[in-house]
Structure formats: C-alpha cells, structure tokens
Amino acid sequence: MKQNGWVFISHSHKDIERVRKIRNKLEELGFEPLLFFLKCLSDEDEIEELIKREIDEREWFIYVDSVNARRSHWVQTEREYIETRGDKKIFTLDLSRTIEEQMKEIERIARQMKVFIAASAQDKPLVNALSKALAEHDMQVLTDEEVEAGTSWLNAVRREIDVASRNGFVLIVISEHMRDAAYALRETEMAIASGGKILPLYVGKAHMPPSLFEKLGTVSGVHISETPTEEEISRVITAIENSIRYYESDMTVSHGFRAARHIILPPLSRIEADTFALCENLEAVTVPESVIYIDAKAFEGLGDILIRCYPDSYAERFCKIHQIRYETIGD
C-alpha cells in the first residue's frame, strides 16, 4: 500500500544500476517509484505522450542528475515538462555524490514536513496562500478540503492530523470566523488529542475562542494580517522550521543542557519523558507559554527542581497537579 507518494524517477538508462539503489531505498521508505524505460515503442510522439501521462499520475518527481542525464534528450524532455506543471514536488539527486550521501538525501526527502491546516471555510483564500508558500518550502500541506463529508469524514481527517502530528505541525488559523467554525474547532481538538505540535496563526485582531483557550492556554503563535504579506508568511515558515530543528536535535548536546544549572527552553509545544535525564547539575527550567503537553516523567529524578513558568499556563497547572515547586514569571 502506498504510504508516502507516487514518484517518477527521471534518469538516464546508462545510470540504471545506481538508480536501482535509489528506487529500492524509496520502496523501503514506503514510496511507489517508477523507473521508466521503454524498448517496445519506436514512435517518439507515442513515447513522449506516454511519459507525460505517467508523470501526470505521479505526485513527486525526482531528477537523477549526472553527465549522462544532462546529455539525454528524454531526461531533459521530462524535466522541462514537469517544470511546466507547477503542481509537482521536484527533488534532485546528484549521482556524483557518494551512495551514502544519496541515501541520506532520500531519507531527508522522505521526512518531508507535513502540515495540517485547521481553518474556517471562510478563510480559504488565506489557507491557499499559506499552502502555496509551504509547498514552495518542501512542506506537504494537508487539509480537510478534499475529504468527502459523511460518516468517513471524521476518520479521514483524523488520519491526516495524526500524520501531521507525527511528521510535522498543525497550523490553527484563529480568525474572526473560527468561533463558529465547528469543523475547525473539532480538528483542533483532534490535534491536541494526538499530541501534535501546534502553531496558532492569529489573524488580524482575532483571539483564541474560549473553548480552545481552556485546552491550549496562552500558546505562543504567529500574528498575521487578513491578507498577509510575504514577510508575514515567511515568519510562519521560519517559526515551523526553527521548531523542527529543535525537535530533531539532541537537546543535551546541541543546546548544551548536560552541564547547565538553569535551562530556558526555546518555543516548543511538548516536553517528553527523560528530556533532562543527562542534566546532572540542573536546578531550574524556564518553560515557555507555547508548551501544551508535559510527560509525567519529564522531570523525574531531578530532586527539588524549580519550574519557572507563566501564570495560568499549562506548565503551572502541571506543577500544581504533580506537586512540583514552581514560580511564575512575566504578566
């Protein structure tokens, strides 16, 4: 069963032995790759139309760059055609690099960020603008737009949100329309239930609906206008990318936490179990307002740790429930 996407691999047949390793890796990661090489047809027009139809049916396009590929009429024809489409995900693999480097690049492609956008139907123009910008930054956008209404709608949307929760982010478009948008509110509740990383987008002067505030608290987000500028959309993308770099890093190494006495966490939504397991000298942790989940074992074994948090935040409520020493900061 296809898990991640249908992939058209554009390559020179002279590189077939090395390209097969690329195909095998993609299959291992849950993709459906196609290596296109026809010996049975001689009519060039017929071959070209067949190739175009195959490209049209694929979601992703991988160009395997090499001296042979650059000299190949068919490879260049495929590349020119795909660039006219404008709706395909295009990646390049350089055969001059080592096989280890190529495999790492394929894994990077497979981990492509998946972003679910929960929004009111009245905010569709804004969602379209965000989707386009996110796609240009190699992020796969998921929405409920193409899911048919009915009994299967709920399960289908939940699956999409679960994918984004595991492999990316859920963007909640908080606008003046959201308060009465039952679907958007339900999708947000699903994201919270799945433990997803959530980034609120506050549109104009809109505030978080009370029903969500009870679950999320004052989660830090990005403020954009109703017709966002390129700079505002860029801030959204930067916020996602910065958070992902944080989640993919080894906290005890890249953030120098092991020797730290006081850690000020960067904006994040979750603190998992054993996050500070190697922090032998830790005395205090400052938790941002963006945190919406803390594992019960996050601070286990840290003795009389002090949690510095914001008033009425998730972290403060967590400390009260688990009887952890804390002090509030800010307003």
- Residue 219 belongs to what domain range? 114-247
Residue type, 152: S
Average pLDDT for 234-247: 70
Check whether 42 has a pLDDT greater than 60. no
Same domain assignment for residues 309 and 233? no
Same domain assignment for residues 304 and 227? no
Report angle CA 296, 268, 124 to the nearest 5 degrees.
120
Same domain assignment for residues 57 and 17? yes
- Which one of 94, 110, 126 terminates a domain? 110
d(CA 4, CA 111): 10
pTM for the full predicted model? 0.48
d(CA 129, CA 148): 23
Q: What is the pLDDT of residues 7-24, one digit of tens each?
A: 888 888 899 999 999 889
- Determine whether 150 is exposed, middle or buried from the number of CB atoms within 10 Å of its CB (0-12, 13-18, 19+): exposed
Check whether 328 has a pLDDT greater than 80. yes
CATH number of the structural domain spanning residue 146:
3.40.50.10140
- Which one of 247, 281, 314 terminates a domain? 247
Residue 60 vs residue 17, higher pLDDT: 17
